[in-house]
Amino acid sequence: MRIDLHVHSSASDGTDSPAALLGLAGQVGLDVVALTDHDTTAGWAEAIAAVPPGLTLVPGIEISARWWEGPGSPIGLHLLAYLPDPDEPELAAALAAVRRNRSTRAQRMVDLLRAGGIDVTWDEVLSDAAGAPVGRPHLAQALIRRGLVDTVSEAFAPQWLGQQFRLPKDDLEVFDALRLIRGAGGVPVFAHPLAHRRGRVVPDTVIAEMAAAGLAGLEADHPDHGPAERDHARRLATELGLFVTGSSDYHGSNKPTGIAVELTSPASYEQILDQATGSTPVASPVTPDRTG
């Protein structure tokens, strides 16, 4: 079984449409793929309609959250929510608020860029996002169009969106997010929990508190984790009674990572299926055999 539980479509900051993504997942021989766009379920319907034969789609979300205690600024973290009920009102309202915050923040980042003499416009960023929750990759595309950088990765350098023109996001408090995911029947997995190269990560004690608050798994195998981080995540998972997953975090041409470069074990996938009550995986309808 080949199982990739974390990919993005153009419904957030990936470049493949949900339908194209499902086609690609089938072509590369995946058995299971989870669509996990940032803070939205808007891509689910198109993905569900495009599941090719032999593939199972796990509808999911990657939720922007933060942990904040004591002095200093919050630490951002991402929670994957598998198979939640997309219409559960509390979760849906919280995600809508996160998307509004993303939009305000991105507009302020455009203002910052313009104040720095970089002539990008909010209109072009909005039209590039085409209804998706706006993220820095959309701003990166504007910088690429200006010829200021060549790639999205370059746009994440400190002198650009990595630091100089970066503003914090107003995300869900992590323990609220865990409660909302479980309340919607979803199964929460901590995405790239130890990816230091993305910024600060939460201490192990917080991961233990998250486990006590309903966290189900840790994404141990992720392109942003080195061998030490993968080992650490596995040890921590064993200690805390969590399962581990592996996923590509594919974003189309916005990132160099290919789909299916990291995989999840069938045993972990089974645990997700056992715990989920919000929605169900989608397999392509079997073509009726009329020939007898």
* Residue ranges in contact with Fe ion by CB under 5 A: 13, 78, 191
Is there a contact between 164 and 56 (Cβ–Cβ < 8 Å)? no
Of the candidate residues 66, 179, 192, 255, the single one contacting ligand AMP (CB under 6 A): 255
Of the candidate residues 152, 177, 215, 237, the single one contacting ligand AMP (CB under 6 A): 152
Q: How far is the CB of 143 from ligand AMP (least distance, A)?
A: 12
Helix-, strand-, coil-residue percentages of the chain, each rounded to 5: 40, 20, 45
Cβ-based neighbours of 206, under 8 Å, separated by 6 or more: 67, 174
Q: How far is the CB of 252 from Zn ion (least distance, A)?
A: 12
Q: Which residue is nearest to ligand AMP (CB)?
A: 135
Contacts with ligand AMP, 3-32, as mask; x by CB under 6 A = ----------x-------------------
Q: How far is the CB of 36 from Zn ion (least distance, A)?
A: 6
Which tokens in the block code for residue 260? 């299916």
Crossing angle of the two packed helices 122-129 and 89-115, in degrees rounded to 10: 140
Which tokens in the block code for residue 52? 């090719």
Q: Which residues are 250's β-sheet partners?
A: 7
DSSP state letter for 198: G
Q: Which residues are 217's β-sheet partners?
A: 189, 243
Crossing angle of the two packed helices 204-212 and 174-183, in degrees rounded to 10: 30
Residues 168-197 that bind Zn ion (CB under 5 A): none
Q: Which stretch binds ligand AMP (CB under 6 A): 123-131, 134-142, 174-182, 263-271?
A: 134-142
Contacts with Zn ion, 73-112, as mask; x by CB under 5 A = ----------------------------------------
**Where do contacts with ligand AMP occur on this chain (CB under 6 A)?**
13, 38, 135-137, 152-153, 156, 169, 251, 254-255
